[in-house]
Chain A
């Protein structure tokens, strides 16, 4: 019997590296209906779909893929929406290789089904065609929920609870909604129009949006309860940039990744002077750290005209925390990597501007607390790198602005909020928390997963009790 011909994984078309490294347009350009259907045909429609186990929000993956296979794209997006309110975002930024696609049976012997690309395809198809009807809302319960922070977890909570019939208000400290999806992730990886369209969808369902509202300053949690909110979800993100604490770090030209990306993305400094906010455009740029945020920073620097964009990381390639796809994209575009390299000092001129960085070469020793081999400096390996912009992307801590102004909210030793792993309940009655302010810096989809759990628990509280 002739063996059924294997369909290869359909490649995602992309802008060529030498072109895209000079513009802010999205890098992958999206699949056509034909290639999407062909990709969907690769799915085995497993009886026990392990891919779904790998999804923090439990999307019915074989369900929506079989609809794609039949060309029923509108039905497919409705299927995804049942579990995920932000598919256009997740299709782009989820680490699928560690989640759904990492578990895909096809992936055992061949390349896994491109679940992320298909999710993105159906979401984009719907955004262009607007054929799907809004999900149905349950009868009004008369209960009011305040969601603090409009990043991925806050948006998930808002979307889930509005459908269950509650009134939901989203409070955002910035002047635009979306949190890290808007201030952090660059346009070339996640066009802002997509985020605003997802938020507009929530508003259509009845979610109220209050921007410029710094909860903890403009209004406190207790005042929200006094105003008649029955439950509060805190999803404010980590939001405190870590610095290296080495000499010269306050020179002009050294920015936290938060500042660099916020200027470029939220404030649109990449379109300066059409937009008024400037950002330092380095000729020789160094990014410290090797997570996804570091890749975003180094790639943004190239697009803003840098001649060299270098990633300096104190561990080796094996320990790089960024997604492989991001590292690959960065390398293709010309970002250089300096592994096992640790900065020790920044150098500046008489105007207080950055001119270079001193560092030491490292070697790997015994595993540390994180299980990764600890980098140890090699004596006498000092070196100097010229740079006029350094971006510090070594992670974030817990921003204390809200937590310190709130009584009765228990924090852990790193000042993140203590919340129940299954429900997101905090030590303060009627208050839930999730996402990076609980776990420390993680991913969009994990924050969404935490939002989903909390929304379920909030619904139980409002209908059954604490």
Chain B
């Protein structure tokens, strides 16, 4: 069992943080890599990109939004309880290199994935502007951590309840117009990443995105996570999860993420009804 040693609720309880005892994985993990978690014997294997690791303490941190039965099972695990299985670190690590001015854009729980990448890019000497956003103020996560991981943090909310009133892409566009940006890293819901890439392409700025398609094994064995990048089929679990955002077929990815929508709804509803009883 992989024990949960700390747990936090964020964004009005819709987003959960688990710090988990997993020394072997924590020792090896690098920014951008993910783990696969399985709550119990009958559970699904769910891939989550790590939000942090602490090799000395032997822990890793995942942050996820509760969207279905599997994440609801994760949410219900208390400190001292744990995950039956965690596998990792998986996927290729972020390519960390000094390129100059970098803009890191995060939406929703994508901010959690963005965190170690941003910190890593800062550590190698880049000048980091970070833009994070959410629908409304109470749903914003990790503001302090992202502030520490960047030189300039800009916050936006869709409803204007905090920071800039509008989307992360609006602010990103302003920053790009100022010029001098060498790299954009955009991580969040697929429509957000698609919108980020559309704009950065106009500015001709290289853009990295991190994808989280449906997976089973996470080792390149099943091909369920295939995405089209530059017209070629790639496996996100081993070739990614990060890709050149200008080459990604986001429309195909959005469709493929819908493969089990009905089953997911059914499982979640049954789970919620069971909990109510």
Interface residues of A, Cβ cutoff 8 Å to B: 173-175, 211-214, 217-219, 239-241, 243, 245, 249-250, 252-253, 255-256, 258-259, 262-263, 267-268, 272-278, 280, 351-352, 399-401
Residues of chain B within 8 A of A276, CB atoms compared: 42-44, 69-70, 73, 267
Whether B87 pairs with A173 at a CB distance below 8 angstroms is yes
Residues on B facing A (Cβ under 8 Å):
24-25, 28, 38, 42-45, 69-70, 73, 84-90, 216-217, 219-224, 226-228, 233, 238, 252, 255-256, 258-260, 263-264, 266-267, 270
Q: Does A272 contact B263, Cβ atoms closer than 8 Å? A: yes
Partner of B219, one of A211, A239, A274: A239
Among A212, A240, A253, A262, point to the contact of B216 (Cβ < 8 A): A262
Query: Which of A239, A256, A352 is within 8 Å of B258, CB to CB?
Result: A352
Q: Is the CB of A278 within 8 A of B258?
A: no
Contact indicator A239/B220 (Cβ below 8 Å):
yes
Q: A212 and B86: CB pair below 8 A?
A: yes
Please tell me if the beta carbons of A243 and B223 are within 8 angstroms of each other in the complex: yes
B238 to chain A, nearest CB (A): 6
29 contacts between A and B (CB under 8 A): A173-B219, A175-B87, A212-B87, A217-B90, A218-B25, A218-B87, A218-B89, A239-B221, A240-B220, A241-B223, A249-B233, A250-B252, A252-B255, A255-B222, A255-B224, A256-B223, A256-B224, A258-B223, A262-B217, A262-B222, A267-B45, A273-B263, A275-B42, A276-B42, A276-B70, A276-B73, A277-B216, A280-B259, A400-B220
Most chain B CB within a 10 A radius of its CB, from A252, A276, A277: A276
A240 to B88, CA, bound (A): 18
Q: A212-B86, A259-B224, A273-B270 are in contact. Are A252 and B256 (CB under 8 A)?
A: yes
- Given contact pairs A243-B233, A262-B221, enumerate 11 new A-B contacts (beta carbons under 8 Å): A173-B87, A174-B217, A175-B85, A211-B85, A214-B88, A214-B90, A217-B88, A239-B221, A273-B266, A273-B267, A401-B219
Residues from chain A with a CB closer than 8 A to the CB of B219 are: 173, 214, 217, 239, 399, 401
A211 neighbours in B (Cβ, 8 Å): 85
Overall SS of chain B's interface? mixed
Q: Is the CB of A252 within 8 A of B42?
A: no
Find out whether the CB atom of B88 lies under 8 angstroms from the CB atom of A218: yes
A352/B255 contact (C-beta < 8 A), A258-B223, A276-B42 known: yes
What 10 pairs between A and B have smallest CB-CB spacing?
A352-B255, A259-B222, A278-B263, A175-B85, A276-B44, A256-B223, A241-B223, A252-B259, A275-B42, A259-B224
Specify which chain A residues have a CB less than 8 angstroms from the CB of B87 in the assembled complex: 173, 175, 212, 214, 218
Main SS class of interface, A:
loop
Chain A residues within 8 Å of B224, by CB: 255-256, 259
- Do A250 and B256 have beta carbons less than 8 Å apart? yes
Contacts of B259 in A (CB 8 A): 252-253, 280
Closest-CB distance, B106 to chain A (whole angstroms):
26
Task: Indicate which residue in A173, A218, A241 contacts B222 across the interface (CB closer than 8 Å).
Answer: A241
Least CB distance from A142 to B in Å reads: 25
Given A211-B85, A212-B85: A352 and B256 interface contact (C-beta under 8 Å): yes
**Closest beta carbon of chain A to B225's beta carbon, Å:** 9
- CB-CB nearest in chain A for B238: A401
Given contacts A175-B38, A267-B44, contact A250 B226 (CB under 8 A): yes
Report A-chain residues with C-beta under 8 Å of the C-beta of B220.
239-240, 399-401
- CB < 8 Å neighbour of B28 from A174, A218, A272: A218
Are A217 and B42 CB-contacts (below 8 A) given A173-B219, A174-B217, A175-B84?
Answer: no
Determine the residue in chain B with the shortest Cβ distance to A245: B233
Nearest Cβ in chain A — how far from B74, in angstroms?
12
**Contact indicator B252/A241 (Cβ below 8 Å):** no
When chains A and B are docked, how far (Å) is the Cα of A350 from the Cα of B266?
Answer: 23
